[in-house]
């Protein structure tokens, strides 16, 4: 009887030890798999290159008014369309307070196609009766060599990453821009074919894999010649929306 009890007790200890060993083995295997998966997710996060073709469109704020001569304002509508490519380089993750942990990124935007369109409209001029203009298009290209973005990545492998950015660039147009339309006839050499484009923006990258993301953004872009033309009415800010698709290397 004693031998039987001892035998059963020994079997119990063997089963218990075997169970613990199996549990430890499973935990270790799971940890290794999780670490491997995390390493795979992190392949893009340390020093990543971003390549993003994008399209963009926008407009002046409703009822926008700008000064074309001292004491006189003009109200008109203006739409924007463009397409280009952005090249970016991320840094390592930087820890910061107040949930600001993320990655800084320097970008270069090249926009070979840029279009500003004045739709047919009735132009309102201060102190003078309104007059009608036909549709007019201004084509150009732009480059934004100074563009800094902060990607809010709280953890590695994050699927949705919001960001903020600021920057500035140059815009060249086939005719002097913006168009003044007034006085009539429009004086020659009023504005400039070269303008500067400081901007701020916000957006989000939505990852559907380790190295691919769909991107959405809204930007507020100022357009001004900084005095390169005889007149510099400028556009205080334009509202523009962008959609793109990124490959991360």
3-state DSSP of 56-78: EEEECCCCCEEEEECCEEEECCC
How would residue 1 be classed by pLDDT, with cut points 50, 70 and 90? very low
Instruction: Give the residue with greater pLDDT, 72 vs 37.
Output: 72
pLDDT of residue 227: 81
CA distance 188 to 17: 93
DSSP 8-state assignment for residue 187: P
Ranked by mean pLDDT, the top range of 59-63, 96-100, 231-235 is: 59-63
User: Which band of pLDDT confidence, cut at 50, 70 and 90, is reported for residue 24?
Assistant: low
Q: Is the pLDDT of residue 104 over 80?
A: yes
CATH architecture of the region 45-248: Beta Barrel (2.40)
Is the entire prediction scored with pTM above 0.85?
no
Please tell me what DSSP assigns to residue 127: T
What is the average per-residue pLDDT within 209-227? Answer: 92
- The whole-number pLDDT of residue 34 equals 46
* Domain boundary assignment for the chain: 1-44, 45-248
pLDDT at 137: 96
Question: pLDDT value at position 182?
Answer: 73
Better pLDDT: 126 or 164: 164
What's the pLDDT at 72? 76
- Average pLDDT over every residue of 48-56: 95
> How do the residues of the chain divide into helix, strand and coil, expressed in percent and rounded to 5?
15, 55, 30
Q: Is residue 173 within 8 Å of residue 192, measured between CB atoms?
A: no
Res 32: pLDDT: 54
pLDDT at 6 (0 to 100): 47
Contact 170, 141 (CB under 8 A): no
Residue 207, classed as helix, strand or coil, is strand
pLDDT in tens, 119-137: 999 888 887 888 888 999 9
Query: How many percent of the chain have pLDDT more than 90?
Result: 46
- Check residue 98 and give its pLDDT: 67
In the block, tokens 């340390």 appear at 46
Q: DSSP character for 35? A: H
- Range from 14-18, 134-138, 207-211 carrying the lowest mean pLDDT: 14-18
């Amino acid at each position: 009887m004693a031998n039987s009890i001892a035998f059963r007790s020994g079997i119990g200890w063997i089963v218990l030890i075997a169970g613990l060993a199996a549990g430890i083995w499973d935990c270790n295997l799971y940890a290794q798999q999780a670490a491997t998966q995390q390493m795979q997710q992190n392949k893009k996060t340390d020093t990543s290159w971003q390549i993003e073709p994008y399209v963009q469109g926008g407009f002046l704020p409703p009822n926008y008014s700008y000064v074309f001569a001292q004491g006189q304002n003009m109200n008109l509508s203006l739409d924007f369309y463009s397409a280009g490519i952005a090249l970016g380089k991320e840094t390592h993750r930087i820890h910061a307070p107040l949930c600001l942990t993320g990655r800084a990124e320097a970008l270069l935007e090249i926009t070979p196609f840029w279009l500003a369109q004045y739709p047919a409209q009735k132009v309102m001029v201060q102190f003078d009766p309104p007059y009608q203009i036909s549709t007019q298009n201004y084509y150009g290209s732009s480059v934004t060599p100074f563009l800094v973005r902060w990607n809010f990545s709280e953890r590695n492998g994050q699927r949705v990453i919001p960001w903020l950015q600021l920057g500035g660039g140059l815009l060249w147009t086939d005719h002097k821009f913006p168009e003044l339309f007034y006085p009539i006839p429009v004086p020659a050499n009023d504005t400039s074919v070269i303008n500067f484009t400081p901007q701020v923006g916000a957006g989000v990258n939505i990852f559907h894999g380790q190295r691919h993301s769909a991107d959405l953004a809204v930007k507020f872009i100022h357009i001004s010649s900084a005095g390169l033309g005889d007149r510099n009415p400028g556009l205080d800010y334009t509202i523009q929306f962008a959609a793109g698709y990124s490959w991360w290397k």
